[in-house]
Amino acid sequence: MAPGVFQLHDRIEAFATSHRRACALLALACLALFLPGFFSLQPMDRDEPRFAQATKQMLETGDYVSIRFQDEARNKKPVGIYWMQSLAVTGAQALGVDEPRARIWIYRLPSLAGAVAAVLLTYWAALAFMGRMGALLAALLFASTLVLGVEARLAKTDAVVAATVVAAMGALARVYLARGAPALSPQGGLAAWRLPAIFWTAIGIGVLVKGPITPMAPLLAFLALAVKDRAWRWAGALKPLAGLGWTLLLVAPWFTLIMIETDGAFLRDSLGKDMLGKVSAGQEAHGAPPLTYFAAFWATAWPLAPFAALAAPFVFAQRRAAEFAFLLAWLAPSWIIFELTPTKLPHYVLPLYPAIALLAALAIERAGDALQRGRLRFALYWLPAFPVIVAAAGAGGAIWLKEAPGLLFFFCAPIVLALAFVMARLVIWVRLRALAFAAPPLALALYAGVYGGVLTGPPMTAFALSPRLDAALARAQAAAPGCADLVPATTTYREPSLVFLTRTDLRMLDAEQAAVFLREAPCRVVLIEGRVEERFRAALGDGAGASVVERVRGINLNGGRKLDIGLYLRGAGS
């Protein structure tokens, strides 16, 4: 490997001579890390197209209060992310983008912005604990983690939620570290309201995006610190009464409207069914035992993971120091809650990864290359075991999740394995700080290959069933003269991505209903999967005037089952 890769620390230090330059460097690094595959990845079932389709229906109906997927109320998450996606689509339309409502990458823009904001806010939060170069290192390590790269490319809530948590924790950290030091704390005027404004605005936005997740981390951190220090009055600097009022002002109008419109069903479904369902049992086949997140960390947090392992003994030794105590309070209580919750997905703990990045960077800044010597050296010899963990976690994630993120981890695992081996060997001979700054470029090489090649190239063609079926329906429309609008229906293939790519009124029918649907009127087309085709043909009978115009074969992105789908068309003259 070129020696210049490990001289990045010196080059970055020479460039990032101000906070403005450091933030510009971080923004450019984020775009380099997150943009490969961003525009070309197909809608990744199932959550992403559900969010995007619900937003699409808001735009179609003009109803920005209720959240629906086709005719079904989607009372799982609050409205925040749907409003953000609506703004993105409306902005794209104003800029003249062709058919913006059908382009999934536009719905991903809030996630991309959220991921970039989370990285920049990690830098801001880190400045409360360390110098500019240490903060830059923490932000770069977090930016290059695998799970953040995944969430930046999916039209979901988690990247935005991570940004709100980091903003809130950055404000809380400054208040905590300034306790008992009046000279460091703003005494009056507008300056006294800066940190409370950041904190409570982040809480309000987080609640509108994903309910209680954003308030959970600072609340648990405050309780842990209050117990440790036997003091809690320092939190008064956050103006809790005024702050709670501001948060209510942000969230209450929509919550009031949705409660009226759904007659209270939103609260019952979101808290009673969705949140409490995840707490009491594993939902949607995503149940897993405690310590699952700890095991998954070694795959999802690359390249941060090995630096966290090296820093762990030093962090434990310094756990009573105020800076380390705060970061551990951010990390440990929430991590335990997530581990004890039966429903588990790798991205749930994403808001805690910045705390780990800050701990690793703070340990590197305080202990430096001493982490590579003495009693801590034993950790270096365990690094070659990480590739095995990574490969196992990646393959296991693909099987466990049965959806797109698991597939991403599966494809990333072999390349991560190679990088892990390289890092395990180099860390013994190369200065740790230099290696840490070299890790993000290694991650960039990984993401460029996986997202820009594997997941958007020929290897994924077989998995791109919904885009190929959408294209086949367009060809069927062109092959049906006299039909101004073909009305589609589908049988067993009912992925949300198909609804998003085709039309909101796509009908979901069984084989017999599909036969009746096709007989009732001309200018209709149905998607019939091979395993129900015989039943469909028997119910259709003769004389319906329908014919197979195309077959699409591939593999379902969810579950990996091979499918053979026929397009049965009844034209205008049939």
Structure token digits, residue 38: 């961003």
CA atoms within 13 A on the CB side of 506: 24
Helix (H) or strand (E) holding 530: helix 530-540
Identify the CA nearest to 553 among candidates 490, 460, 463, 475.
463
* First CA to last CA distance, the chain: 67
Cα separation, 500 vs 42, whole angstroms: 11
- Phi/psi for 495 (5° steps) reads -65, 140
State whether 41 and 113 are in the same domain: yes
Q: Which residues pair with 567 in a beta bridge?
A: 527, 550
Of 436, 454, 472, which residue constitutes the final position of a domain?
454
Residue 288 resides in a domain: no
State whether 470 and 424 are in the same domain: no
State whether 425 and 469 are in the same domain: no
Q: Which residues pair with 9 in a beta bridge?
A: none
Residue 196 resides in a domain: yes
Cα separation, 136 vs 492, whole angstroms: 50
State whether 533 and 385 are in the same domain: no
DSSP 3-state of 192? helix
**Number of domains making up the chain:** 2
Residue 469 resides in a domain: yes
CB atoms inside a 10 Å sphere around CB 189: 8
Cα separation, 334 vs 65, whole angstroms: 31
Domain, as residue range, for 552: 464-570
State whether 346 and 490 are in the same domain: no
Structure token digits, residue 340: 């004890």
State whether 469 and 442 are in the same domain: no
DSSP 3-state of 110? helix
Residue 549 resides in a domain: yes
Residues 77/211, Cβ–Cβ less than 8 Å: yes
Residue 100 resides in a domain: no
Residue 175 resides in a domain: yes
Q: What separation in angstroms does the CA of 513 have from each of 70, 494, 532, 566?
A: 18, 15, 12, 16
DSSP code for 472 = H
Cα separation, 324 vs 319, whole angstroms: 5
Pairing state between β 507-508 and 524-529 = unpaired
Kindly provide the b/e burial profile for residues 73-95, where b requires at least 16 CB atoms within 10 angstroms of the residue's own CB.
Answer: bbbbbbbbbbbbbbebbeebeee
DSSP 367-403: HGGGGGSGGGGHHHHHGGGHHHHHHHHHHHHHHHH-S
State whether 469 and 450 are in the same domain: no
pLDDT tens-digit profile, the chain (574 residues): 445 555 667 788 778 789 999 999 999 999 999 999 999 999 997 899 999 999 999 999 999 999 999 999 888 889 999 999 999 999 999 999 999 999 999 999 999 999 999 999 999 999 999 999 999 999 999 999 999 999 999 999 999 999 999 999 999 999 999 886 654 444 556 678 999 999 999 999 999 999 999 999 999 999 999 999 998 999 999 999 999 999 999 999 999 999 999 888 887 777 656 555 555 454 554 557 888 899 889 878 888 988 898 889 899 999 999 999 999 999 999 999 999 988 888 899 999 999 999 999 999 988 876 665 544 454 444 454 454 555 555 555 555 444 444 555 555 555 555 555 555 555 555 567 777 787 888 788 878 888 887 788 787 888 899 999 999 999 999 988 889 899 999 999 999 999 999 999 999 999 999 999 999 999 999 999 999 999 999 999 876 788 899 999 998 988 778 999 999 999 887 6
State whether 449 and 471 are in the same domain: no
Instruction: Give the position of tokens 């935005």.
Output: 160
The CATH number of the domain holding residue 469 is 3.30.110
State whether 329 and 309 are in the same domain: yes
Q: Give pTM, 2 decimals.
A: 0.89
Of 454, 474, 509, which residue constitutes the final position of a domain?
454
E strands, 370-501, are: 487-490
Structure token digits, residue 550: 């195309």
The residue count for the chain: 574
Of 402, 419, 454, which residue constitutes the final position of a domain?
454
Residue 183 resides in a domain: yes
CA-angle at 55, arms to 97 and 206, nearest 5°: 110
State whether 363 and 495 are in the same domain: no
DSSP 3-state of 117? helix
CA-angle at 240, arms to 238 and 242, nearest 5°: 105
State whether 187 and 336 are in the same domain: yes
State whether 371 and 426 are in the same domain: yes
Structure token digits, residue 423: 């890092």
Residue 517 resides in a domain: yes
Cα separation, 229 vs 320, whole angstroms: 10
